[in-house]
Chains A and B, each alone.
Chain A
Amino acid sequence: MDAQKILEYIRQSENYHEQIVHTEELPAKEASFAELNENLHPHLENYLKDKGITKLFTHQVTAIEKVAQGQNVVVVTPTASGKTMCYNLPVLNHILNNPKGRALYIFPSKSLSQDQMAAVEDFNTEVKVAVYDGDTPDDLKPELREKTSIIITNPDMIHQGILPNHLKWHNFFSNLKYIVIDELHSYRGVFGTHVGHIIRRLRRICEHYGSKPQFIMCSATIANPKQHAERLTGLPVSLIDNNGAPQGAKKFVLWRPPSKRPYIQDVIWLFSLLIALRTRTITFSRARQTTERILRHTKKLLQEKLPHKNLHNKVVSYRGGYLARERRAIEEALFKGTVYGVVSTNALELGIDVGELEACIIAGYPGTIASTWQQAGRVGRRHKDSLVIFIAVQNPLDQYFIRKKEALFTKPTEQALVAPDNPYILLGHVLCAAHELPIKPQDFSLWGEIFPDLLYLLEEDGEIVQSEGSYYYIGGTYPASRVNIRSSSLASFQLKDKSSGNRLVGTLDGHRALSEAHPGAVYMHQGETYLVKDLDLENKHCYLNKVDVDYYTMVKRDKETEIIEINKKRPLLTHMLYSGNLKVTTRVTGYIKKHEATGQVLGGGELDLPEEILETQGMWVTFDPTVIEEAKGYYLNLMGGLHALEHASIGLLPLFAMCDRNDIGGLSIGAHPQTGLPTVFIHDAYDGGVGFSETAYSCFEDLLEKTLEAIKECECEDGCPNCIYSPKCSNFNRPLDKEAAIYLLHRLLGKEYTPRVENNKIIINSTALKNSLKRFK
């Protein structure tokens, strides 16, 4: 494949309308090798020799040596750089030399566990390795606990199955030498915070049995890998990022679909074209439905245009839930050339391992820069040249990367966040820890300052008792089953699929249920679309039906924000910036259905749902009161400006804190009852908060700069989904005033605002004002 030729071919096509806004040439990189100070076990030396590996890459050698020195490490390298060697070599080396030694591998998903077991088995050593998870048959468990050297599992199993039964695992824990955590960046937000507590519980149990395991971690490239690893484990961690793996040259194309045409048409066209050119291609899309649509239309197009080439039979989709065997079959088909194209959902970016792919279409920003590179890293392994096409969809983040051409190719700004001090999340783990082993005062230091206060609170509630300084669990229920590590509150809703006999499809945080899963809502879960039939508030059940609809739903909410406590504040020129605790009261009052493609309102309904209270972290900015008069003078709608500013800045916050729109909420108000001033709030959407809004507080100027750019440079006139519209606005995107937001951002950043002037007259920019003036005419 010649990427240059393909791009020329694309440019000459009649479908091409200058969609390519930038092509980044990523040069090929030679491998850099290093020598180990000490030899590995002869078995491993032979294995490497047999594989034709005569030298190890620099990062692999650094990892092995730092681990040998007893350090905890986090290895940050791109996809396909041989990172598994960074843990498999030291672990196997240790166990081959000390057969009693044990290691625990933690992966976020079951399919990854299976892949990793195969990778360890490939070394063909005596060392026993096994996956121990929810699918492990009970009668195999005792043997696995006693005899397996390397246990591969996931955080859920450690939390529910292993830690509460540590008495049965005493042999394993007594000899536990290494804990391997891969995909570290995926342990962030609420889930990551839970995992951080699980790791602390794990460390406490190990200490009880006299072991002190070392952590070997791997992460995709994020802004704060070392800090994240340290906050997750509570231990000092050494960073390894001297990647020595070679790379082929890569052309990374930024693609902006024509504004009046759905982006999916470009995806289908490009995908078909690449397949027609016999280029092995993977397309990543954002949802299961889109995946299926891309597959269907690509097949159709290929059959129409090239009926006798039989290419339409050489495209497949690749979905979640596929077994390792099925995935292997697809990988093999790609290798043999019986398949040229694969469409996959984002969720699978981690699972597939196809060395032969040449081109990758990223249909929509997958949410984080780390994911984008994991997807792009699927093609052009080692020395091969490859092509990546990033297709932007209509939202502020996608548009940001199109506009800010270098943003994807420089050091990422996005941070993985965890909130070890969130009392809501910690509370359940205090119970779990007390149940596992009485909590002694010396355990307090594993957790933050808030830990003893929570013990006191739980004692008041009669859940634990204190006796001679130690705290004992006294409840009669299994505490681990009360803590859902995928949610922030103890009370979460069970999602039940009516179309398949009330099968449990997942759980939903209590706070999100009312606004996302009210009766009549279209609810997306793991790429599937469901229609909500019934929401049983008392039993916390939500009944769904799997459907294929072409509309989505939005709710209308009444929302109030009360400032409970100010933790931090600083002036921002003549304005003030705050960070603290908020009480957010919302009531969902109705919803509308909107057509997916056209945005047309198709109907809706009223809802009678109870009020909800969220106690969370937030940040807010109060404006210098002079903006009120000044905005009037410029004929701007202040309220519309505050609202637009809120939307746009929330839309871009994921550039700084790895999160998505559902993780954050906002509120803008002309005169807040407590501040008395025009105020914009940004808050975490979880009880207790996870640090998203705190990040917004600390990098607010930076966020504002990006927000201003996004709004100012957007080509629309009055605002659009690329800049100030929010898909989850509780006021259905009204009022919004783009120019007013630009004005306010200038004021916040201390920039001189020049109103748009034509013929010496200020143009009335505000849509709202324009409309009201129209009425007077």
Chain B
Amino acid sequence: MTLLSRLKDIKAKNEEPGKVQIPQKKSPLDLGGVEINNSFGNYYLIEKEYSLANLTFPAVSKELLTRNLRLLQGIGPVTEREMREQGIDNINQLSGEVRWQYEVEIVSECILKGKIKELRRRGACDYELLSFFKKDDLVFLDIESTGLWANQPLFLVGILYKDGGKLKLQQYLARNLQEEKPLLADLYKKLRNFKVMVTYNGKKFDAPYIEGRWVEHRFFYRLKHYQIDLLYHARRHFKGKFPNCRLITLEEYLLNFKREGDIPGYLIPQTYYKFVKSGDPALIKDIIRHNALDLVSLARVLYIVQPCINAKDFIAATK
């Protein structure tokens, strides 16, 4: 059918009397959460608790940083190897040498004052830098959106963090897209409580997406968290060893866990819109479950991929 004839049909249909669609009445939604109000409107919040055992936060000491010789400008892999062969494995051992004295002072000060950005610039890895943080600083985050570009709204933000002796899951849900703005406003307030954000592909996707949504709703907030993107680490360690580096693959190979009946990512936008139209809770429950599983796996994978300075040894150790 050609475009013009389709448009003609549409015009005729719209002009037909009594064809106005009356929106279906939706029954109140029960997903085990509560409705939250703020000055921008309402949204829905679901909370759940897990045992803290799921979060194996690596205890890292700052010692580790002083053992990274390459933090000194001028030391590359070759020099490092030579030094290690000579028995030098701590930067403090170089503080007496004229050549390195100044560099050692700078790095030591960075470690002392927690100048994370500078250390990162010098090549400190996420794992070493975790030594500046406590378990309470950490937030795991995963979003579900209606598209691939931040121009398209998001509707679910799941976060997982340590809350006293428990691991707490919070899922911020927009039951329709009018609820996105109030959701985003509260999300900012919540995220301010944390210093480290752990995600899977969040550096490229989740974080800029949230910031993009804040721009669209003209909050212009920025995420200032220290970002740990586990996809980056997983790729470094497991590329070529596993069929791919998707989170569910990691679950299978590292956590011996296989998801059943999980909704595939590409179906999420249309499923959400179906939910908005019909109000059928089953539709959104699938997405909520998917989001929660992602977060719990993230927390479990953190320990596994994070400390692997040598991934091979680690896989051996987990088997």
Contacts and interface: CB of A to CB of B under 8 A. Distances in A.
Best-buried of A208, A467, A473 by chain B (most CB within 10 Å): A467
B283 interface: no
Interface residues of A, number: 35
Interface in A719-765: none
Nearest to B274: A465
Interface in B206-227: 212, 215-216, 218, 220
Interface in B144-158: 146-153
B4 A476 contact: no
Given A435-B149, A436-B151, A468-B176, A615 B215 contact: no
Contact of B150 (A167, A438, A450, A687): A167
Main SS class of interface, B: helix
7 contacts: A167-B151, A170-B220, A437-B151, A453-B11, A467-B176, A472-B153, A472-B273
Contact of A474 (B3, B11, B147): B147
Best-buried of A423, A453, A454, A470 by chain B (most CB within 10 Å): A453
Contacts of A209: 218
A2 to B, nearest CB: 61
Given A437-B216, A456-B10, A474-B273, A615 B4 contact: yes
Contact of B6 (A435, A457, A468, A613): A457
Contact of A476 (B148, B150, B178, B220): B148
A473 B3 contact: no
Interface in B247-274: 266, 269-270, 273
A423 B176 contact: no
A427 B151 contact: no
A391 to B, nearest CB: 44
A473 B4 contact: no
A531 to B, nearest CB: 34
A234 to B, nearest CB: 21
Q: Which 5 A-B pairs have the closest CB atoms?
A: A167-B212, A465-B273, A167-B215, A453-B10, A170-B215
Interface of A: 164, 166-167, 170, 208-209, 423-424, 427, 435-438, 450, 453-454, 456-457, 462, 465, 467-468, 470, 472-474, 476, 478, 564, 581, 583, 613, 615, 687-688
B2 interface: yes
Interface string B9-26: 011001000000000000
Given A167-B151, A435-B151, A476-B148, A470 B4 contact: no
A472 B146 contact: yes
Contacts of A687: 3
A91 to B, nearest CB: 26
A453 B270 CA distance: 22
A438 B178 CA distance: 11
B10 A423 contact: no
Best-buried of B3, B11, B151 by chain A (most CB within 10 Å): B151
B177 interface: yes
Contacts, number: 79
B304 to A, nearest CB: 31
Chain B interface size band reads: 20 to 34
B7 A454 contact: yes
B216 A472 contact: no
Contacts of A456: 10, 14
B277 interface: yes
Contact of B273 (A166, A427, A467): A467
A164 B4 CA distance: 28
A424 B151 CA distance: 24
A423 B177 contact: no
B276 interface: yes
Contacts of B176: 467-468
Contacts of A474: 146-147, 152, 269-270, 273
Contacts of A472: 146, 152-153, 177, 273
B152 A423 contact: no
Contacts of A688: 3-4
A615 B10 CA distance: 18
Contacts of B14: 453, 456
Contacts of A167: 150-151, 212, 215-216
B26 to A, nearest CB: 12
Nearest to B178: A468
B4 A581 contact: yes
B148 to A, nearest CB: 6
Nearest to B8: A565
